[in-house]
Amino acid sequence: MQSVDWLWLMHPALAVVLVYPLLGMVLRLAQQTRDRRLTQAKHPPTVGRDHADLGKWLAGSVVGIVLLAEAVVIATKHSLSSFEGGVGRLAPLLLVLVGSGVALASLWRVKRPVYRASFALLCWAGVIGLGLQPEVFRLSDNPFDPAFWQSHFWGGIGLSGLMLFSVACRPEIHKHLRWRRLHVSANALAALIFLAQGISGPRDLLEIPLNWQKPTLYGCNFEARTCPAPAPSSATP
């Protein structure tokens, strides 16, 4: 494996090592928090706060890993000398990446609802904008195409939006029953998307060749499932 192959592995590795263990803990604490509120179960009084704090880390991890994956794909798809648009296109993309990270960090700190909503939307817009670059592979951009709903990319975009929504609405979730119900519904959907991502991620890894294999494999016709005949060997017997 070459260095670029290790860079491409950072996204799935961090998802396995960081995101899914956090997801398990957040779901367990969510159940304990709900049981304590509705049935007066004898769970520690800190379960609600722990659920919110770990949920915040889960959201930040998901968005950060998606941004990392997009940055790696865009930066390594072609060399800088053959990068489409050159420095004139690369510089704005870098600004969007940095701005998305700043918006995510600011979302953690601001208190007023308008600021929380603004930074969440700015961060999500940056995630979508980077993801829509031609270097980022997507099965389909048409929501009426079944492949769209099988896309690992669009699942990640949806998860990022749901995670940012949960962080931005945290104070309202604590104060209002209507927001709490919306939070539960949104995160039930997020749990289903996490499950789908756990399936579509390994599927996509099977389809990504190592860097030195790409020139040959990308010459194949994937629809007909045929590849060009290998060149005859020049070695003499």
Give the start-to-end residue ranges of the domains of the chain. 3-79+92-210
Tokens of 153: 């990319």
What is the model's pTM? 0.86
Region of poorest pLDDT, from 60-69, 71-80, 119-128, 225-234 = 225-234
What is the rounded distance in angstroms from the CA atom of residue 232 to the CA atom of residue 229?
Answer: 9
Owner of token pair 């060399």: 79
Condensed to tens digits (0 to 9), the pLDDT of residues 186-204 reads 999 999 999 999 999 988 8
Between CA 70 and CA 97 the distance in angstroms is: 9
Residue 153 CB neighbours (<10 A): 22
Q: How confident is the model at residue 33 (pLDDT cuts 50, 70, 90)?
A: confident
- The per-residue DSSP string of the chain comes to --HHHHHHHHHHHHIIIIIHHHHHHHHHHHHHHHHHHHH-----TTHHHHHHHHHHHHHHHHHHHHHHHHHHHHHHSS-GGG-TTHHHHHHHHHHHHHHHHHHHHHHHH--SHHHHHHHHHHHHHHHHHHHTSTTS--S-S-TTSHHHHT-HHHHHHHHHHHHHHHHHTHHHHHH-HHHHHHHHHHHHHHHHHHHHHHHHHHHHHHH---GGGHHHHTTSBTTTTB-PPPPPP----
pLDDT of residue 51 exceeding 90: no
- Per the CB < 8 A criterion, the answer to whether 29 and 43 are in contact is no
Q: Is the pLDDT of residue 127 over 70?
A: yes
Instruction: Name the more confident of 219 and 194.
Output: 194
Are the C-beta atoms of 2 and 212 separated by less than 8 Å? Answer: yes
Nearest alpha carbon to residue 77 among 134, 142, 11: 134
